[in-house]
Amino acid sequence: MATGALAFTVLGSGGGASGIAMVLLANMTAGIVVGPVGGVVADRLPRALVISVVQVVIGLVTVVETVLILTGRAAVWNLAALAGANSAAASFSGPARTGLVRSIVAAKQLNEANALNQLARHLVLTVGPAIGGTIVAVAGAGYGVGCNAVSFFVSAALIAGIHAPRVDRQPSTMRTDLVEGWQAIRARRWIWTCLIGTAIMVPAWHVGYGILGPPYAKTHLGGAWAWGFIASSLGAGMALGAVVSLIWRPRRAGWTNCLGAAALALPDPLMAAGAPLPVVMAAVVVAACGLSMSVVAWQTAIQQHIPAEQQGRVSAFADIAEISLTPVAYLLVLPVTGAIGVRGTLLACGIILAVANLAPLLSGRVRELTLLDRAGEPFTPE
């Protein structure tokens, strides 16, 4: 429901694309700083409890956002601070979610479990942003954010009812846990090779779609309602990719991960070329479908072949690596768009997305990366 609401709140306050970048910068920076601790906590405490507590915290933060927007006190600085608080809290729930699925699902069924997770989430996201965009356009951004706040409390209550076995692990210090998680990634070439590409891909996607997309939609495609439908296209594509992953289990996870994510290169050049709204929406559907298949394959590979007691830390470090360069990209948005224009920046983002996602396939370890089949056949040696 809140998709685009904060972006248009920033735009309405005169913040422009640079204001959106500052809010996203605060979000990313907090995640990078708190992420390692979140991974350790996710491996130490009951994961459903961790997620539930985080949902309540984010719900409270979102209530504050709602009040600020409805009272006209929302500004770039306080929205950025709240975005940072949201990201810091989410740094605990993301790693816990990865480990929670692994703890309640058999290894050979993880692909289907991840696909069902994606499908449920993005079926809602298909409808939500369009409704939210309409609410933003008609009633204002505060009401869209307010509906979103309620959803976090409902989510916390639902997740609290999940009972999963605790992972047996030896007591250790925080430092030991952090080092162990980092070494688990370093020892697996397929992980860090893909993460290098993702670290380049993520900022390009955030700059093109996340930062330049809303003002582009406002200027060239009709306003908040248009961005709501584009965001709905993203949800529809993600749901479609989840359905494909549910029906078809790729054996070559490395190829699926890289080729699927490479589809993200489609929307930005089309916006740069001045494509109409239906064409942009179609490109976003294709891009999101590929991304969804990529995410399912990647999550399944992590869950199947990383020890259960290291799931949270490996997931946290992977998340940090993915967004590590994004804050720098946010800071460069204004000078780059000033130098080559919005359309030039969108085109550059599309090229970067294609190269960053395909380059990891140069590694044999990535090309050979496979998943367990339905009979539970073993994973290709690392």
**pLDDT the model gives residue 86:** 87
5-163+174-368: CATH topology? Growth Hormone; Chain: A; (1.20.1250)
**pLDDT the model gives residue 65:** 81
**pLDDT the model gives residue 77:** 78
Placement of tokens 């990201």 in the chain: 87
Work out the angle between the directed axes of helices 141-159 and 110-138 (0-180°, nearest 10).
150
pLDDT tens, the chain, 382 aa long: 555 566 666 766 666 767 777 787 788 788 888 888 989 998 888 899 999 999 999 999 888 888 887 787 877 778 888 888 988 998 898 889 888 998 888 888 898 999 998 888 877 766 766 676 676 667 666 666 777 788 899 999 999 888 888 776 677 788 888 899 899 999 999 999 999 999 999 999 989 998 888 888 878 887 777 887 888 788 889 989 999 998 888 888 999 999 999 999 999 999 988 889 999 999 999 999 999 999 999 989 998 888 888 888 998 888 888 888 888 887 888 899 889 988 899 999 999 999 999 999 999 999 999 887 655 554 443 4
Is-contact 210 267, C-beta < 8 A?
no
d(CA 350, CA 188): 29
**pLDDT the model gives residue 380:** 45
d(CA 239, CA 245): 10
Is-contact 17 333, C-beta < 8 A?
yes
**pLDDT the model gives residue 159:** 92
